Every structure is written in C-alpha cells, then in structure tokens.
Amino acid sequence: MSNKIAVQIDDLTVAYNYKPVLWDIDLTIPEGVLMAIVGPNGAGKSTLIKSILNIIKPIAGSIQIYGKPYHKQRSLVAYVPQKGSVDWDFPTTALDVVTMGTYGSLGWIKRPGQKEKKASLEALEKVGMLAFKNRQISQLSGGQQQRIFLARALVQNAAIYFMDEPFQGVDATTEKAIINILKELRKSGKTVIVVHHDLQTVPEYFDWVTFLNVKKIATGPVKDIFNDDNLTKTYGINYKVSVQQ
C-alpha cells in the first residue's frame, strides 16, 4: 500500500426514482489495497461500484479516480459485473468475451487485431481457461464463466479492478483460484475492490474493508475495524464473527 489515493468519493448520493439508495457517502480508497465492500441486501454495494464507473448517474457528490473524473481515467479501471447481469446464451465464445476487455483501449470503430488476441489468450491462460477458448459461453459451468469474466478484466490491464460478487455461485476451487489472482494483482501494486457476501472469509481474503448500508458505516484496515461492533451497526442485528488474525 502506498500513500496515493486510488479512489476519492465525496458526498455521494444516488437515488432511484427519488429514493436514495446511497446517502452522502465519503470514501477514500488508498492505492494497493484489496478491499471488500460488505453490507446487507439492498445496502447499495453494486450501486456504489456502478456510480464510480459512471454507469449510474449520482444526484449529488463527486468521484475521482487518481484525482480526475472517471471519464478521463477509463483506461485505469477494469470492471467485472455480476455474472447474472448478462445473457450467457449469447452466441459467442469464451475468447471473444475476453477480447471485449480490449474494446475500451481500442475506442470506437477500431477492430481488435493480433495484439488484442494475444493479450486475451494470455489472460485466459492466467485464469486456467485456455483449453476452453473456443467453447460457447453457455457450455461453461458457473465457475468457468466467472473465470472468463475475470480474464476479461485482466486483459484491460488496469490499475483499479472493481468486481461485483465474483464468488457468487462458484465452487471452492474456483474461489481459491480467483482470490489468488486478486492477491497477485494487489502484490503488483493494483487496487482491487470487491463486493463480497461471505463475512467469514473477509479476514482471510482482504486487507481493507468498507461497511455499507445506504450510509457508509466504516472503512479501513480489516485488522482494525472488522469487529462485532461495526458488523452489528451494518447488519442491524447482534453479529458475532470470530475474527482470526
């Protein structure tokens, strides 16, 4: 972790149909952390990520990526949406989905060429899916689909990675494989931000955590703030999690 700030959010409020789902969020994410966003259903975790990526327009507040607004820093950011947000029956192959990660750096109209194909194949290899490159995406298991999504983010070669529930519906082996790749990303100085559901694994997987429930409850290093007090504040019930350091 360096002293640089990767993401700076000030006074962010987001509403759907005038009903706030995120209320006055201030959040500073330092460079080089592997951070979990935790909170109950409807806490606004996905909305927070989508607002940072400018997919949803906030009604107030500002978001800066390395000191500049998102639309100037797109090339620094990679995004893994929820697996369920796309139609896996779409007529395309694993390799093609990964290649979509290069579309951002290509910009409008330009087609992916040999360079993009090579990068996509390397990303597939990193997630252990090279053998499936020509497989139609509906023929992949849930875990394999998630690996493809991860490969698509890797090919973007970004500085900050946002992932929306990457462990949803994957088996234990895939979960380990994914978390190892995320830890590697952090080791190489990248910032990784993950919407996460399984509170038991937070201390094992992450070094930074943000508690969210419409408002920000707390943010900081896991070892300092991942405690029953914050969990109870976030989830509203008396929460006991044995925190292993």
Partner 1 sequence: MSSAQIEIQLIASLVAIACAIPGTFLVLRKMALITDAISHSILPGIVIGFFITHDLSSPLLIILAAASGVLTVVLVEFIQKTGLVKEDTAIGLVFPALFSIGIILIAQNANDVHLDVDAVLLGELAFAPFDRLYIRGTDVGPKSLWIIGCIVVITLGLLFTFFKELKISTFDTGLAAALGLSPVIMHYGLMTVASITTVGAFDAVGAILVIALMIAPAATAYLLTNDLKKMLRLAVFFGVSSAIIGYWVAHTLDTSISGSMTTVLGLIFLFVYLFAPNKGLFSVLYRQKQQRIEVSLLTFLLHLGNHKEEDERHVKHLNEHINWQKVQSKSVLDLALKNNMITIDNDIVSLTKKGKKFTTKAIDYIISNKNSEIETMKDRFFLFRG
Footprint of partner 1 (CB under 8 A): 17, 50, 53-55, 71, 74, 77, 79, 81, 85-87, 90-93, 97, 100, 103-104, 106-112, 131, 136, 138-141, 152, 171
Residue 35 φ then ψ, to 5°:
-110, 135
For partner 1, the closer of residues 3 and 91 by Cβ is 91
Q: Which is nearer to partner 1, 50 or 216 (CB)?
A: 50
Can you say whether the dihedral through the CA atoms of 186, 62, 70, 56 is positive or negative? positive
Alpha carbon distance 160, 77 (integer Å): 5
**Residues 98-117 as b or e (16 or more Cβ within 10 Å = b):** bbebbbebeeeeeebeeebe
Nearer to partner 1, 155 or 209 (CB): 155
Nearer to partner 1, 17 or 244 (CB): 17
Closest CB 215 distance from partner 1, rounded Å = 24
Q: Two tokens at 168?
A: 């949803």
- Our CB check for partner 1 shows the closer of 149 and 226 to be 149
C-beta of 184: minimal distance to partner 1 in Å? 22
Q: How far is the CB of 52 from partner 1 (least distance, A)?
A: 9
Collect all residues with Cβ–Cβ distance below 8 Å to 95 and sequence separation of at least 6: 117, 120, 121, 124, 133, 134
DSSP annotation of 82 reads -
Least separation in angstroms between residue 220's CB and partner 1 is: 27
Q: Where are the beta strands (DSSP E) in the chain?
A: 5-16, 19-30, 34-38, 60-65, 77-80, 160-164, 191-195, 208-213, 215-221
> At its nearest, how many Å lie between partner 1 and the CB of residue 226?
29
- Select 71 or 240, whichever has its Cβ closest to partner 1: 71
Backbone angles phi, psi at 150, to 5 degrees: -65, -45
Please state the closest distance from residue 100 (CB atom) to partner 1, in A: 5
The two tokens of residue 241 are 């999690």
